[in-house]
Amino acid sequence: MKFNATNVRASASAADLIFEALREAIFTGEIEAGEHLRQDALAEMFNTSRIPVREALSRLEQQGLVKTERYRGTTVTSLSVDEVREIFEFRALLEGEVIRYAVENMDDATLDVARRACDAFATETDSAKYGDLNRDFHYALYAKAERPYHLKIVNQALDRIESYLRAQLVLTNGMERARREHLGILEACVERDAAKAAQLTRDHILGASASLIQFLEKRDSAK
Amino acid sequence: MKFNATNVRASASAADLIFEALREAIFTGEIEAGEHLRQDALAEMFNTSRIPVREALSRLEQQGLVKTERYRGTTVTSLSVDEVREIFEFRALLEGEVIRYAVENMDDATLDVARRACDAFATETDSAKYGDLNRDFHYALYAKAERPYHLKIVNQALDRIESYLRAQLVLTNGMERARREHLGILEACVERDAAKAAQLTRDHILGASASLIQFLEKRDSAK
DNA sequence: TATCATAAAATTGGATACAATCTACAATAT
DNA sequence: ATATTGTAGATTGTATCCAATTTTATGATA
């Protein structure tokens, strides 16, 4: 486990930096589910005292990414297959609704932004960036929904399964299919067909869920 | 502003106690939106150092209930009418879906629990308890949805608007209508009519939203 | 009196040190 | 050999102190 905190903006507090670094490390899988995080080890790693480390861990816990037990330490929470499935199901419900709202307010400038985000995602080769670029595309469309609370919750759900999403995209055909489905959603938005965009978004999410879960179950049964 | 932390379980850490006490104080309106919370004032109030106070505030901030600016202090975040409206809309979507799942697994024991919760809510006279009893009723039904993540998010949304919900229930006819609508939802569950339960739940939430927003706008325009 | 510079007070973020408690392992008794 | 107990180490929670910066009070000057 190694961290690189230099890529985060310097204006933030130490707790912010540690929070972001840990979050990213959990997303990439650099910190695995179940791994024990000790406060003084992290403090030494980031050259700080345990105080900002504790604050970062507390925030991660509030997000559900870790769990702290007194005198026992902090562990990265793992998700069962059922939990992963449920979160995808939740996303399908929520994001389907969000894009319905968005299509009703869709304008050409927004579609341009989304198109560029779609291209950027499709041509990216660094798998570490898949997650952010995927969000960029969807959020470009969702922005016009003008539902900030809904989007905050979508974001939170994505955070919870970000590491799984990244794993899914590097599966065989994961990127290829995501790229194709993104184009379909974009096309529905261009046609201002809200129902179609919503349906394709739900399919996109549930399809990714199905292939990911198939992978997870195969992996688990192999162990 | 005064706090009473004696009703929280003693096994928790000081930070836990402060977190709960502040949360409850925000819910009841004891701490009003926009109010400044100073760390050392809170520390003195709870007879602790600022460390657990900071941790509690950090958690509240993660939940969106307060906002901290360095050297400026922490303020309780207020919600605009639009934000309140959106959160009710979000709840209608989510809770409608949750109860649909729940009805499919509904059994008589669950209905009994819900019926008792419904009675407890209807007969309660202490308005401070409305919030919890209202949740008790709905959660009694939602439990059978077996969607823990969905419920966690519902809970979070309720937290965000808890103080508004309590205000709504003490409005003229607020309790009376809530009681009547609860009975309707319960009846639909008894009939195992998932679509009807979902629709009544959505109506229940959106109806409360409408009357609350009417009240908020009248109050705001009066100022 | 009004305005601007300067100092004092206030306030949060972090470091160090201490307290409380759990875990692991070894010593001891049965 | 096994169970029990005690002690040392590990680990988190909190108190106290310091640093950094903003806000506010103060006073000098035009």
The answer to whether the beta carbon of residue A71 comes closer than 7 angstroms to any atom of strand C is: yes
Contact B98, B110 (CB under 8 A): no
Nearest chain A residue (CA) to B84: A149
Q: Are residues B140 and B217 in the same domain?
A: yes
Report chain B's mean pLDDT, rounded to a whole number. 90
| CA dist., res. B76 & res. B64, Å (int) | 9
Confidence of residue B71 (pLDDT cuts 50, 70, 90): confident
pLDDT by residue (tens digit) across A90-127?
999 999 999 999 999 999 999 999 999 999 999 988 88
| Residue A7 falls inside a structural domain | no
Query: How many angstroms separate the CA of residue B122 from the nearest CA in chain A?
Result: 31
Which whole number is the average pLDDT over A130-152?
A: 94
| CA dist., res. B121 & res. A46, Å (int) | 51
Instruction: Tell me the one-letter amino acid at B204.
Output: H
| CA dist., res. B67 & res. B53, Å (int) | 14
Q: Are residues B125 and B201 in the same domain?
A: yes
pLDDT by residue (tens digit) across A184-212?
999 999 999 999 999 999 999 999 999 99
Look at residue A167 and tell me whether its pLDDT is greater than 90.
no
Q: Are residues B71 and B85 in the same domain?
A: no
In total, how many domains does chain A have? Answer: 2
| Residue A59 falls inside a structural domain | yes
Nearest chain B residue (CA) to A88: B149
Q: Are residues A103 and A137 in the same domain?
A: yes
Percent of chain B scored above 90 by pLDDT?
74
A172-176, B107-111, B145-149, B192-196: segment of lowest average pLDDT: A172-176
pLDDT at B187: 95
| Residue A2 falls inside a structural domain | no
Q: Are residues A87 and A46 in the same domain?
A: no
CA of B45 to C1' of C13 (A): 21
pLDDT by residue (tens digit) across B84-99?
999 999 999 999 999 9
Q: Are residues B62 and B97 in the same domain?
A: no
| CA dist., res. A129 & res. B38, Å (int) | 40
Q: Are residues B68 and B162 in the same domain?
A: no
Which whole number is the average pLDDT over B141-153?
A: 96
| CA dist., res. B97 & res. B174, Å (int) | 24
Contact B83, B140 (CB under 8 A): no
Q: Are residues B105 and B46 in the same domain?
A: no
CA geometry: angle B51, B54, B59, nearest 5 deg: 130
Subunit contact B59:A54, Cβ cutoff 8 A: no
> At B28, which CATH number?
1.10.10.10
Q: Are residues A102 and A208 in the same domain?
A: yes
Q: Which tokens hold the place of A1?
A: 């486990």
Which residues constitute the domain of residue A34? 14-76
Interface test with A, best of B16, B50, B58, B161 (most A CBs within 10 A): B58
The better pLDDT of the pair B11, A223 is held by A223
* Cα separations in angstroms, B150 against A80, A203, B78, B157, B201: 15, 19, 25, 11, 15
Look at residue A80 and tell me whether its pLDDT is greater than 80.
yes
Which is nearest to A164 in space by CA: A56, A78, A67? A78
Nucleotide nearest residue B38, measured CA to C1': C11
| CA dist., res. B181 & res. B173, Å (int) | 12
Q: Which tokens hold the place of A178?
A: 């995501």
| CA dist., res. A153 & res. A90, Å (int) | 10
* Cα separations in angstroms, B80 against A99, B33, B84, B95: 23, 11, 6, 22
The answer to whether the beta carbon of residue A15 comes closer than 7 angstroms to any atom of strand C is: yes
Which of B43, B76, B109 delimits the end of a domain? Answer: B76
Chain C positions under 7 Å from a protein CB?
A: 10-17, 20-23
Decide if A87 touches B, using CB distance below 8 A: yes
Which of A46, A76, A106 delimits the end of a domain? Answer: A76
Confidence of residue B129 (pLDDT cuts 50, 70, 90): confident
| Residue B101 falls inside a structural domain | yes
CA atoms within 13 A on the CB side of A202: 14
Contact A25, A31 (CB under 8 A): yes
End-to-end CA distance of chain B: 23
Q: Are residues A60 and A129 in the same domain?
A: no
Decide if A1 touches B, using CB distance below 8 A: no
| CA dist., res. A202 & res. B69, Å (int) | 39
The answer to whether the beta carbon of residue A37 comes closer than 7 angstroms to any atom of strand D is: yes
> At A152, which CATH number?
1.20.120.530
| Residue A5 falls inside a structural domain | no
| CA dist., res. B155 & res. B90, Å (int) | 12
Look at residue B39 and tell me whether its pLDDT is greater than 90.
yes
Confidence of residue B126 (pLDDT cuts 50, 70, 90): confident
In a 3-state reduction of DSSP, which class is residue B146?
coil
Q: Are residues A49 and A114 in the same domain?
A: no
Which whole number is the average pLDDT over B23-46?
A: 92
| Residue B9 falls inside a structural domain | no
Q: Is the C-alpha dihedral spanning B171, B154, A150, A152 positive or negative? A: positive
Decide if A49 touches B, using CB distance below 8 A: no
The answer to whether the beta carbon of residue B149 comes closer than 7 angstroms to any atom of strand C is: no
Chain D positions under 7 Å from a protein CB?
A: 10-17, 20-23
Q: Are residues B48 and B103 in the same domain?
A: no
Look at residue A8 and tell me whether its pLDDT is greater than 80.
no
Helix ranges restricted to H, B29-142: 39-46, 50-62, 81-104, 108-123, 130-142
Contact B158, B91 (CB under 8 A): yes
Confidence of residue A9 (pLDDT cuts 50, 70, 90): very low
Confidence of residue B12 (pLDDT cuts 50, 70, 90): confident
Helix ranges restricted to H, chain A: 14-28, 39-46, 50-62, 81-104, 108-123, 130-142, 148-169, 174-190, 194-222
